[in-house]
Amino acid sequence: MNNVYDLVVIGSGPGGYISAIRASQLGLRTAIVEKYQELGGTCLNVGCIPSKSLLDSSKYFFLAKNHYSSHGIFFEKLFFDFKKMMNRKNDIVKNINRGIKFLMKKNKIILYQGIGSFKTVNSLSVKEIKSLKEKQEIKFKYCIISTGSIPSCFPNLNFGNQIISSTEALSLNEVPNKLIIIGGGIIGLELGSIFNRLGSQITIIEVMDKIISNMDDSLSQEIRKILEKSSIQIETSLSITNILVEKNKKEISVFVKSKNEKEMKFTGDYCLLSIGRTPYTKNLGLENIGIHQDQKGFILVNDSLQSNIKNIYAIGDVIGGKMLAHKAEEEGLYAVEHIIGQKPNKLNYDLIPSVIYTYPEVASVGRTENEIKKEKMEYNVGTFPMKVLGRAHTSGCTEGFLKMITHKKTDEILGVHIIGDHAADMIMEASIAMEFRSSSEDIYRICHPHPTFSESFKEAALLNFENRSIHM
Ligand code: FAD
């Protein structure tokens, strides 16, 4: 009975390890299989945590260089030590790695290191990474697949020393002189911000006519202005025709074509591809048991996150949708509660917040104005600029706004889109309000602490339901 479990989770990213903890807490004999020695998946090792660590370090440098003097703080000589910055990032990751291992032990979750590969619908092999030889066989009643995703690349290209993905970008030994970023989504903007603050010349090339094209247009326009002000070059509506590496000169040339067929060339010492992520199911043995995937390789699941084989669930990046850590976590909790026979609430995918950790931050939840227009719904919009807030002045970050969209008749909040200092933390007020289906009047009538950025909620709410605000 040693290798027999109620639940086996494959993958220890935020979806996987959180599912395992919840399962064990709810009484299931649980094991987790992870390919690498380090737990935590993309998020901890090459995603959320290392990027936020470098975003914070580079932000302090940027603020010290550009803002501290206005506070009366001066430096004789300001410089940064890139190696130390990277070591700090590595230490943070290692500490959290240890923390997750501790949580596995504390919750009596059995850890198998190796590649999990299905043999039958109730058993899998744990294989050596290199030789793919079976180390152990484990049996399960239920399984949750949480094997995540990897960075997408163009066909006929491979990531290497100069054409890099976010993974390599977060472990560079040097700050690029000229970094070309292909893809103006969340990852492109965050990594561009890090290296821009550290002195790289950044060019972002985007195929769509705007950056962060799946967020509200107002956010896209405003963050573009802010990034361009800090000398990030942003080029939109361009398609890539070729990428050439000139090894001797350590130079990369990116050839592009505009919509009217105009050809252009950008050069840099590195080219970061942030063009999306691909579901990761290599060596998982899905074909052995006939689990269905879509054309892009995402595992297909029903509303309860079950694959076509009902005792095998799939969650997180590997099933697509918003590829975010907190979405993977929510799905993991849901899957476990469904397995033990609880009746968890259906996940509300409309209310998964998105955040970009630029300076100021961008955060959004609910529907965009364009989506609401398409639904032909009548709506109100209240947009309150941060520069009116006392707190914005004391902090020195007066850029941005909070835009609230409400239903014209019912006053229900349909979407909130923020650019501003602390937007990442502020968006939770909107999520809670919308989860409880609040109106803008509800928000207006709640006392908000002064002076805070959260006062922008109250002001935008008043704009929505009375078309005026207190401070504007
Ligand atoms: P993953 O975290 O990808 O974990 C999958 C795990 O499964 C990996 O450890 C892998 O080794 C393992 N595995 C795969 N196949 C097997 C197998 N056959 N056997 C055993 N183990 C296997 N999201 C946010 O919410 N906020 C952010 O700020 C944020 N920043 C990001 C920044 C960057 C640069 C990147 C790349 C991503 C960022 N994300 C962010 C996205 C986030 O990292 C992912 O959405 C999240 O990690 C997905 O979790 P997951 O559990 O689905 O998969």
Query: How remote is the CA of residue 13 from the centroid of ligand 1, in Å?
Result: 5
| pLDDT at 1 (0 to 100) | 60
Task: Determine the pLDDT at residue 399.
Answer: 97
What CATH number does residue 404 fall under? 3.30.390.30
Choose among 302, 299, 252, 296: nearest CA to 277: 296
For residue 248, what are its two tokens? 């001797």
Residues 366 and 432 in one domain: yes
The verdict on 329 and 364 lying in the same domain is no
Q: What is the pLDDT of residues 178-214, one digit of tens each?
A: 999 999 999 999 999 999 999 999 999 999 999 999 9
Same domain assignment for residues 338 and 369? no
Pairing of strands 270-273, 163-164: parallel
pLDDT at 252: 96
Q: Are residues 309 and 393 in the same domain?
A: no
Dihedral of alpha carbons 308, 314, 318, 322, sign:
positive
Residue 172 lies in a domain: yes
Same domain, 24 and 109: yes
Q: Is residue 157 part of a domain?
A: no
User: Is residue 180, in this structure, part of any structural domain at all?
Assistant: yes
Given 291, 322, 349, which residue is the final one in a domain? 349
- Identify whether 156 is part of a domain: no
Angstrom distances, CA of residue 394 to CA of 3, 153, 174, 449: 59, 44, 35, 15
* Rounded CA separation 256/183 (Å): 13
Distance CA 217, CA 405 (A): 13
pLDDT at 329: 98
Residue 362 CA to residue 231 CA, distance in Å, equals 19
Report the alpha-carbon distance of residue 325 to residue 14 in Å, rounded. 6
Helix, strand, coil tally for the chain in percent (to 5): 35, 25, 40
| Residue whose CA is at the smallest distance from ligand 1 atom 23 | 324
Q: Which has the closest alpha carbon to 460: 426, 437, 436?
A: 426
Contact between 210 and 236 (Cβ < 8 Å): yes
- The answer to whether position 218 is within a domain reads yes
Predicted pLDDT of residue 238: 97
User: What residue has token string 């300076």?
Assistant: 359
Protein residue with its CA nearest to atom 41 in ligand 1:
324
The reported pLDDT for the residue numbered 249 is: 76
Q: Catalytic one among 71, 292, 450, 471?
A: 450
Split into its structural domains, the chain has a count of: 3
Pair (145, 291) in one structural domain: yes
Q: Do residues 192 and 132 share a domain? A: no
Asked if 390 and 310 sit in the same domain, the reply is no
CA separation, residue 303 to residues 12, 306, 312, 338, 345 (Å): 23, 7, 13, 11, 11
Give the integer Cα–Cα distance in Å for 412 and 210: 29
Same domain, 314 and 261: no
Q: Which is it for strands 263-268 and 123-127: parallel, antiparallel or unpaired?
A: unpaired
Q: Are residues 104 and 122 in the same domain?
A: yes
Considering the domain architecture, whether residues 83 and 192 belong to the same structural domain is answered as: no
Supply the DSSP string of 226-267, one letter for each residue: HHHHTT-EEE-SEEEEEEEEETTTTEEEEEEEETT--EEEEE
At residue 247, the pLDDT reads 73
DSSP 68: G
Q: Is residue 354 part of a domain?
A: no
Last residue of a domain, one of 225, 241, 275: 275
Reference 365, options 399, 402, 325; nearest CA is 402
Q: Which two tokens stand for residue 295?
A: 């054309």
Residue that is last in its domain, among 254, 275, 296? 275
Residue type, 16: G
Ligand 1 atom at minimal distance to the Cα of residue 329: 51
Q: Which of 12, 45, 48, 132 to mutate to test the pocket of ligand 1 (most atoms within 8 A of CB)?
A: 48
For ligand 1, mutation pick of 9, 12, 43 (most atoms within 8 Å of CB): 43
pLDDT at position 156 is: 87
Per-residue pLDDT at 2? 81
Distance CA 304, CA 166 (A): 32
Q: Which structural domain range is residue 388 located in?
A: 360-466
Nearest CA to ligand 1 atom 9: 41
For ligand 1, the distance from its centroid to the CA atom of residue 362, given in whole angstroms, is 21
Encode pLDDT of 274-308 as tens digits.
Answer: 999 999 999 999 999 999 999 999 999 999 999 99
25 in any annotated domain: yes
Domain check: are 16 and 139 in the same one? yes
Q: Residues of the chain whose pLDDT is less than 50?
A: none
**CATH number of the domain within which 60 lies:** 3.50.50.60
Confidence (pTM): 0.97
Q: Answer yes or no: is 370 within a domain.
A: yes
